[in-house]
Structure 1
Amino acid sequence: MTRTSLQAAIQGSVLGPGDPGYDEARAVWNGMIDRRPRYVVQCAEAADVVAAVRYGADLGLEIGVRCGGHGIVGHAVPDDGLMIDLRPMGGVTVDPLTRRARVQGGALLGALDRASQAHGLATTAGNVSHTGVGGLTLGGGMGWLARRHGLACDNVASFELVTASGDLIHVDAESHPDLDWALRGGGGNFGIVTAFDFDLHPEPGQAISAELLFPLEDGRAAAAMRRWRDLSVDAPREATFTATISGTMVALGLVWVGDPVVGRTRVSELADRLTGAAEPAGRAIDPMTYLRLQTREDDVEGHHWRRYWKGHYFSELGDAVIDALLARDGADLPDVSLQAYGGAIADVADEETAFSRRDAAFEFVAASRWSSPDDDERRMSAARRYAGTMDRFASGAYVNVLGDDGEAGIRRAYTPGKLARLTAIKDAHDPGNLFHLNQNIRPSAG
């Protein structure tokens, strides 16, 4: 099949270097990624994805898959390869009676949130609205509702999947139990999901954010962070405790999603207990809609910045971990975020999904962003160095936060038993490793 015949066979568009829209299509979230695919196939329907996969396989091209384009290392954009762009397939249809959403493979989280909230419903959907539903969900899918309703992958009823052999199949626990298990945390290793069916939950659409600021230069931050840690252990499931370390300040607080009347009382009470005897440098309690919560980080997490990050899971946040987190000496240090897990995430037995480390108490990410290529090595080195000081405390890693970690990262993201099972499923469904531009689970043969 030639490019001309591929274009004739699909409803979408095939773009090459020099074509209008090509440079926009290959630009992704991380501004460091500047690769030039041989072709970009902008798919309008599942049949287009089937045709693109078969075309790429026939020509022996590397295949990258783009939805939101938020992957930190830019796997979606293969040099001289085939980029399958799912963004034209961005629709979301909600059935309020069954509380079910049909989400196309190129949809962004904002589309899912808006369509669901129009009916007073929601499901776990990340923290940044221009993130792709597909990448988030296939890696697990943490979000503000996860402590109440589980990870995004826990809320999928079924998948529509294009396999490495170019077949379009329906995947659920009855039809393909091995793939159904693997797609819940195993990433893009097993095919391209062209549609998800999500279970939705009644949600009032209200949220409350609380944040207290403490300076790093005195003892208040360490003492407050210990109180924050202790309060998080017994926090209501509506509350997700968060912390940010940036520059000379530590921001400690929580996000409440649930009954706003109960929330006002509980959030104020928790903020008072977090304050303790030391007055913070700043205090803000901000009621907002759930949709505003879901978009409030969109600008900070916007496109075109050059980015690098490292992440860990912590099974506990002992005093030694807190002291190490706050020991920030040196230039160009990354910003740090911590987000509490537990609740409904840990309710799911670990063996039920490919997603691992459900006993994690906190997710840690050290992230840098900058604008000049001249700063690349300096900023990346500082992030590696700082995150490396946390290695001794880590209990694993979230696959969606892995970057240039390679196979060592895969071993951190999955338990040995999980990795063995994932490898067996890879052997069965993609033995040639066609889908390897991801946090790759290699088949036994390669």
Structure 2
Amino acid sequence: MCKPGQLNTSNTRSTQTEIGDITTILTQSPAEILENKPNSESDSESESSSSSSESGDCSSDYYEPEDDDDFETEDDQYDEEDCDNYLSSHAEPHRERKFIVYESCIRELLSKCNTCNAPTLVKIAAILDTQLVQCNETTSSNAMELEGLKRCQATLDKEGIQVDALVTDRHASVKKYMREKWQGANHYFDVWHVAKGINKKLMKVSSKKDNQDLREWIKSVVNHMYWVASSSSDNEQEKVDKWCSIMLHVCNIHTGFDGDFKQCVHGPIEEHREWIKKGSKHYKLLSEVVMSSYLLRDIPKLSPRLQTYGLEVFHSNLLAFAPKHTHYFYKAMTVRIYLAALHFNENGNRKQAVRKDGEKCWSVSYPKSKKGEKAVPSKIKVDPTYKYIEKLLTVVFERRQEFATYSEASQDALMNYAKAPPAVNATYQPYDKADLVKKRCTCFPTK
């Protein structure tokens, strides 16, 4: 709790602090504060109020410590009971009393839950770390993803950030690394990546002759996977039992399942469906995909809450800063990734735009995978902001003042920042350019 202090009308600050849904805004200037003071009181009462403020009892609506250095000293600490008595004795009906509150106090207040005193979780979409791995830094392109994960883990550990859960695709080397080396974090699979693989395999099977009847069940199987992940929490066996029930559901059997999941939870099915006969050719083809041992091992790891769509959005945003059709050297690519991360962190949580009449803005989009058969509504967000550019310019000017010449700044960067790996062609055999020009020929010579 912040203690009342002497009002300093010559240096009253304007503070705006926003954390989550709680916003504290104090914007009154010294002149406005003086104008709001009651004029019906005599000068003697004003003198007495000023003398009482020096002893710790203030009658103004705004309070600010006189010296920041003395704010947290033991001599100036106030008991909560004294502060509560002060507020109750000076409270006025239908009037909100305002205090200047330090940002550190608000953060400490929101860091604990009022009920269980446990740390609170704040859901944000932000890039905490980025790693650029060059192909010659690993043995193969398949190992680059795991190398990037290891570097990110090292950075988070260095900063003291604890990872409770990690959601990835079904990369084999990542699964092994999480199982053997990073056991402190719960590893989950993104549902979209798993469902995408199932959809691809079923589309391939149904494209063959006499298997077109399976195509109408593909969407149901994919939707069933999303339902299994969202309705089963962290119960791994429940996920497996629910997933296996799809093989009886397609046969129009909705009760008497094995395991803890005994029956379907949907209501009566009124629409006409081409049910699959148990033991038929279509049933066996569907079972080969849905009941494969490789898939059943990964079903318990489906993420019940968090998914990787936020990361996919960042990758889409990255294309605006580093398009794939253009080649960039290592340092230039690193800088462009950093810029994309700054832009995403500032605009990744934008709200939906609202019209003047209060109606939310929507647009109609046609997913490429649906091929025009389905349209979905998309939120229109507010315009992006670019405040990070001002911060970057400030850092540039500060660095210019620190180093007089470009060579000094470059030397400092080489000493304090990560070095770029050798170029990909550094290990290649050198060739003489003049000899290559002489031997150059074309299949379509010109006159």
- Shorter chain as denominator, the TM-score bin is under 0.3
More strand as a share of residues: 1
Query: Whose radius of gyration is greater, 1 or 2?
Result: 2
Q: Which has the higher contact order (CA 8 A, sep 6+)?
A: 1
Q: If the length of structure 1 is used for normalisation, what is the TM-score? A: 0.22
**Structure having the larger proportion of residues in helix:** 2
